[in-house]
Amino acid sequence: MNEKLKEVLKFVIELAIIYVLTMLFITYVMQRTVVSGESMMNTLQDGDSLLVDKISYNFKEPERFDIVIFPYQGDPDECFIKRIIGLPGETVQIDFDGNIYIDGEILEENYGAEVIIDPGRAYEPVTLGEDEYFVMGDNRNHSMDSREPSVGNISKDDIIGRAFVRIMPFSSFGVLE
């Protein structure tokens, strides 16, 4: 075989390997996502670019206050980004004063941008199944989340991953809390 052809073939094979490894990485380990909308303000802004960890929930359970990505049931091509508030087996309730209760105890948190005006379906106690999570946007009065019947409780299998770092804009680069 001609040396020039060998070099071209070697280059094509290396390119194919890089492509396959990149696709495996994006599919199973980590992906970039862009925030669309204001439901997670003030934590996340419209247009923020994030890295999503897609592998850690294979080894540990999602935790309260993790920021997760999941498909919207009404349009599986659309993904939502919200914060986990309620964990499997817990009962979540929100009163008309905007207080969030987990198993009858007020949830101590400071992520909500404002007092909750509409508790939605969580005005009545919402008991989560063994593999379900209750999620809310930080911009509580401008978020379509588990309070809405069209979103409801999120199963662990539906969670694509955990957003853990903002990569753009560079002025806000850092680990998410």
Can you name the residues that pair with 126 across neighbouring β-strands?
A: 92
**How many other C-beta atoms are found inside a 10 Å radius of the C-beta of residue 33?**
16
Can you name the residues that pair with 34 across neighbouring β-strands?
A: 49
The CA distance from 112 to 114, in Å, is 6
Cα 75 to chain centroid distance, Å, stands at 16
**pLDDT of amino acid 10:** 87
The CA distance from 38 to 80, in Å, is 11
Is it true that domain 3-175 has CATH number 2.60.34.10?
no
- The H or E element spanning position 86 is strand 75-86
Tell me: cis bond preceding 139? Omega within 30 of 0 counts: no
Which positions are annotated as active-site residues? 39, 82
**pLDDT of amino acid 32:** 84
In the chain, which residue ranges form alpha helices assigned H by DSSP?
3-28
**pLDDT of amino acid 113:** 67
The CA distance from 53 to 167, in Å, is 13
Can you name the residues that pair with 161 across neighbouring β-strands?
A: 69
**How many other C-beta atoms are found inside a 10 Å radius of the C-beta of residue 94?**
25
**pLDDT of amino acid 1:** 64
Kindly give the parts of the chain with pLDDT less than 70. Answer: 1, 113
**pLDDT of amino acid 85:** 97
